[in-house]
Structure 1
Amino acid sequence: MQYLQLAALLTSAMLMTACGSDNSGPSNSSRTTPSGITGASFVEPAECGAGSVPETGVQGQVPLADRESGRSKQGYRCNMELVGQYQGEGSTWVNPSYKTCSYMGTTFSGIPTKVSQGVQVIDARDPANPVLSTNLTSPAFFQSPWESLKVNEARGLLGGVAVGPIVGVGFLDIYDVGTDCANPVLLNSAVSNLTLPANLLGHEGAWSPDGNTYWATGASPGSITAIDTSNPSSPKILFTTIASPNNHGFELSEDGNRMYLTTTSPPGVIILDTSSIQKRDPFPMLTELGSVIWEDGDLSQHTIPVFYDGKPFLIAVDEGGAGAARIIDLSDETAPVVVSKLKLAIHAEENANIRAADTANNGFFGYEAHYCGVDRKINPTAIACGYFQSGVRVFDIRNPLAAKEIAYYNPPAQSEKKSQLAGSEHATSAIGGDLSTDWCSSPPRFVGNDQIWVTCQDNGFMVLKFTNEAYPLK
């Protein structure tokens, strides 16, 4: 608990630093761009082949009857099967994997009772038998990095900021995972396991693709902090500002010159010119280039920039309001346009009462998506998304205007193990529930030609395999 006390003491000092920073925030902000739909709003359901155990309700649903009877403890699967699993004490919001390893954060609320603190490092060299290699308990990782726990593949770095219960102050932890992903080395440690504060408010985070900048956002108010990580042993704040009343997750363009930032209310995306920070101008600033908002979702969560035949698109995901992923045409970045959606049948307006009844006792989140991952960013063929109560869903997106579902895996409900899941946000926090389904909130990762690696909050890290030749897509 010494880390938490120190973080609290640093709060006023860090906010004073913010006041002294160049706060040249985004300009040209109307944020009223209409979101015209030219493609499909709902995805065609998967055709489940041999060995599948399909859903018993509409697409994406875990019916109330299945929850009450215990049927949901068996899970549901379509053209996918479980290869290996490390459950541990459960996990928290966002847990990346890299090479043959996975990094499984654990919840702030479970600190008093967890046996294994901090971020769990899972060695999955044998995908059928993933094992705990070590756990990382530096300040940010001890508190819980929430949605800021991210890997930069270019430099083999794992980073995250202190978030704690929902927004934290001060710490950024950076580990070398490129040398040995199963045994990370803390790079910015000043004394023993204690890192130097290098952030202001933190809730979400991500790397620039070159790994020289780590960006943190602070939810509400919508702070953005750019941290120079060119020397990861000595990260330094470059710039901080308030971008909007509230912001959330984001990703940057491959050259680092654009940030695609989600906002929670109203839900949508803001496109920011980050080139001034990327090239290290002496007086950096952010400029808003365009935006798009929508009314049929809520709490926009994160983005993925992709290209189809050289044309830029953006995938944006909502975590509220019966939200899901949507595909946005960026041909004119000053006026982005939503062109299709990846909504499930359970998200349809006529199913609103069913959604409410099904999910009433299983915590704050319903059937919404949270994080997604594509198989590749240039001409992607498939996207896999984690949903809070609909499991892991995989879609054919070769045609961005007409996505089709090809597989899903909704893991067994862990209600009987609730007392053993002190690391699970779903099992321990005030916004959790009865565990009648899992919360699959992490980004799924395509591995090899036939696997998905993903972490769900109650079931932990899982290696999933496609069956019935559902993937790769030909």
Structure 2
Amino acid sequence: MKQAWSILCIACLAATGCMGNKDAFTTGSSGGGTVQAAAADGALIPATPQGTCGPGSHPETGMQGRVSQADHDSGAAALGFTCNTQLVGSLVTANAIGTVGGFKVERYVDASGHDCAYYDSTLLYPTNLADKQQGVAVIDMSDPTHPVKTDSLVTPAMLSPHESLVVSQQGGVLAAVLGNPAFGPGVVDVYDISKDCRHPVFKSSTPLGVFGHESGMSPDGKTFYSASPSTSTIVALDISNPSLPKPIWAGYYPSHGLSISADGNRAYVAGISGPAGVIILDVSEIQARKPNPQVKEISRVTWDLVTIPQNAIPITIKGKPYLVEIDEYSNGDGSPVVSSNGPVVGAARMIDISDEKHPKVISNMRLAVHNKENRATIANDPGASNPAGGYAGHYCNVPTRTDPTIVACSMILSGLRVFDIRDPANPKEVAYFNAPVQPRVLTVPAPASDWAMSSPAFVPERKEIWYTDGYSGFYAVRVTNGAWK
């Protein structure tokens, strides 16, 4: 199978005239690390404790993370649920037909001080076209109470970036690879956002990603990684000249999302097989631009109740390194559908990587709706059986990789959830925002409920979090009552 992929992928690259070296496709060599499994009995993992919802909150009526049929019937869901959060501003599509929010929200402040948000405008292209939405939305956030759309990016990858939209803060670069839930043809688009983030400057669109679904980027903005879990391929592109990307390495790893260390020398891969978990790769030769770079596998870590790892973000707390990881879907068979027989799933977790050859899970960030003992109770909630959502987790992000005090996660029907991680072994949920359920033209195949799947962005100086909901659009939310320390 790998040989077949090599022939196909090399043919794709050779056709571009940029690369024809079959040795660039490697499986990676072991660095001596071993797979480490979490020892905890998943059935005993409790929901993360919650803090107190302060003044101005409109808390959930019952179980942590739940939006029940009774909440819909009473009108409570239409008001939304908040705990230590308040809405600052939004761009909402009334009576939407398709999906109008996607998988990523990014923030960038340019050299002139313009403050911008970027988000992909659909969970699945072209379901947004009926709502007169397309591509990646560019939003002027100079007044967060009144977001203003200034541009739409509609080059091939931006029309359907799936989960790959990414920004380099250091490099002032925005990029994505054309993808879909399986795998797309791998066209990579690159934009310069450094001078005026409100109007990104198109630099290139090239078929060098081979296959597309997810992505990663070195913090310096010089290396873009196209990742496809369905084909188990990763391609590294040199985009130091964004007008002329060049393939420099490709390999076989079942990569969903991947995050790159601050120095560019490590890739933290959310691997979906072999077993599923996190793969730590030494990519220093790629970062150093060595000829025919070699990638070494340092270690892997899995856990008892792994489903489909989505992304893993390296952080440090008081000088000690960790990963924030989240799985998507809520059943061990890869299905997000809530069932009374499904296993208990820890939606997100903290992983200690101080010994990178022996990483270990030290805590979980999860809601009561994720626990097995509650599955029968919530199985018939509106949207709980949605095959692309339910109460599963999807993305987490942090406001900074150095001493973040919070993690914010999109947990689909449960909305945006905020966890205090100052004590990484004992996280606590301190805030949430589950947007008011909006009326929709189409409620098939699922009832009209929230569909929060995006990686959020942050404005630490104002304690704001920006995210999108697939069914309604873009939200800027402020964390209140001192919940964000």
Is the TM value for this pair above 0.5?
yes
Instruction: Structure 1: give runs of 5+ residues left out of the alignment.
Output: 1-9, 189-194, 420-426
Match of 1:199 in 2: 209
Matched, 1:26 2:36: no
Q: Give matches, 1:110-129, under 5 Å.
A: 110=127, 113-129=130-146
Match of 1:87 in 2: 92
For residue 223 of structure 1, report the CA deviation from its aligned partner.
0.5
Matched, 1:330 2:343: no
Say whether the 8 Å CA contact 2:396–2:409 is kept in structure 1.
yes
Say whether the 8 Å CA contact 1:36–1:337 is kept in structure 2.
no
In structure 2, relative to structure 1, the CA distance for the partners of 1:240 and 1:12 (3 Å cut) is closer
Matched, 1:314 2:323: yes
Match of 1:168 in 2: 184
Letter of the structure 2 residue corresponding to residue 331 of structure 1: S
In structure 2, relative to structure 1, the CA distance for the partners of 1:338 and 1:70 (3 Å cut) is same
Say whether the 8 Å CA contact 1:317–1:326 is kept in structure 2.
yes
For residue 444 of structure 1, report the CA deviation from its aligned partner.
3.8
Say whether the 8 Å CA contact 1:249–1:303 is kept in structure 2.
yes
Matched, 1:57 2:66: no
CA distance in 2, matches of 1:25, 1:392: 37
For residue 133 of structure 1, report the CA deviation from its aligned partner.
0.6
Say whether the 8 Å CA contact 1:306–1:313 is kept in structure 2.
yes
Letter of the structure 2 residue corresponding to residue 452 of structure 1: I
Q: Give matches, 1:219-298, under 5 Å.
A: 219-243=229-253, 246-265=254-273, 266-298=275-307
CA distance in 1, matches of 2:431, 2:166: 26
Match of 2:398 in 1: 374
Say whether the 8 Å CA contact 2:452–2:468 is kept in structure 1.
no
Say whether the 8 Å CA contact 1:31–1:293 is kept in structure 2.
no
What's the TM-score, normalizing by structure 1?
Answer: 0.87
CA distance in 2, matches of 1:86, 1:14: 40
For residue 16 of structure 1, report the CA deviation from its aligned partner.
6.2
Say whether the 8 Å CA contact 1:438–1:458 is kept in structure 2.
yes
Per mean C-alpha deviation after superposition, the further-off stretch among 452-461 and 389-398 is 452-461
CA distance in 1, matches of 2:298, 2:314: 16
Letter of the structure 2 residue corresponding to residue 380 of structure 1: P
Match of 2:451 in 1: 438
The alignment partner of 2:297 has SS state of strand
Per mean C-alpha deviation after superposition, the further-off stretch among 78-87 and 166-175 is 166-175
Match of 2:5 in 1: none
In structure 2, relative to structure 1, the CA distance for the partners of 1:12 and 1:241 (3 Å cut) is closer
Residue 416 (structure 2) aligned to one of 383, 392, 395: 392
Match of 1:406 in 2: 430
| CA displacement 1:342-382 (0-9 Å, x = unmatched) | 11122222112234322444442222221122232222211
Letter of the structure 1 residue corresponding to residue 27 of structure 2: G
For residue 280 of structure 1, report the CA deviation from its aligned partner.
1.1
CA distance in 1, matches of 2:292, 2:387: 45
CA distance in 1, matches of 2:74, 2:401: 42
Match of 2:222 in 1: 212
Say whether the 8 Å CA contact 2:37–2:304 is kept in structure 1.
no
For residue 400 of structure 1, report the CA deviation from its aligned partner.
0.4
CA distance in 2, matches of 1:196, 1:434: 39
Say whether the 8 Å CA contact 1:361–1:434 is kept in structure 2.
no
| CA displacement 1:170-212 (0-9 Å, x = unmatched) | 4111111121111111012xxxxxx232211111012101111
The alignment partner of 1:417 has SS state of coil
CA distance in 1, matches of 2:477, 2:284: 39
Letter of the structure 1 residue corresponding to residue 468 of structure 2: T
| CA displacement 1:314-351 (0-9 Å, x = unmatched) | 11111122442101111211111000111112222211
Say whether the 8 Å CA contact 1:122–1:130 is kept in structure 2.
yes
CA distance in 2, matches of 1:40, 1:446: 32
The alignment partner of 1:73 has SS state of helix
Residue 140 (structure 1) aligned to one of 154, 157, 169: 157
In structure 2, relative to structure 1, the CA distance for the partners of 1:11 and 1:105 (3 Å cut) is farther
For residue 41 of structure 1, report the CA deviation from its aligned partner.
5.2
CA distance in 2, matches of 1:390, 1:396: 17
CA distance in 2, matches of 1:223, 1:31: 22
| CA displacement 1:59-79 (0-9 Å, x = unmatched) | 111123223554322210011
For residue 290 of structure 1, report the CA deviation from its aligned partner.
0.5
Instruction: Structure 2: give runs of 5+ residues left out of the alignment.
Output: 1-7, 110-114, 331-344
The alignment partner of 2:468 has SS state of strand
| CA displacement 1:385-414 (0-9 Å, x = unmatched) | 111111111111110011111111000122
Match of 1:6 in 2: none
Match of 1:35 in 2: 38
Letter of the structure 1 residue corresponding to residue 197 of structure 2: C
Match of 1:185 in 2: 201
Say whether the 8 Å CA contact 1:25–1:285 is kept in structure 2.
no
CA distance in 1, matches of 2:441, 2:262: 41
For residue 104 of structure 1, report the CA deviation from its aligned partner.
2.0
CA distance in 2, matches of 1:385, 1:219: 22
Match of 1:357 in 2: 380
For residue 40 of structure 1, report the CA deviation from its aligned partner.
7.6
CA distance in 1, matches of 2:405, 2:315: 11
CA distance in 2, matches of 1:242, 1:460: 35
What's the TM-score, normalizing by structure 2?
Answer: 0.85
In structure 2, relative to structure 1, the CA distance for the partners of 1:112 and 1:51 (3 Å cut) is closer
| CA displacement 1:16-70 (0-9 Å, x = unmatched) | 6698532222223886422145998532113111111110121111123223554
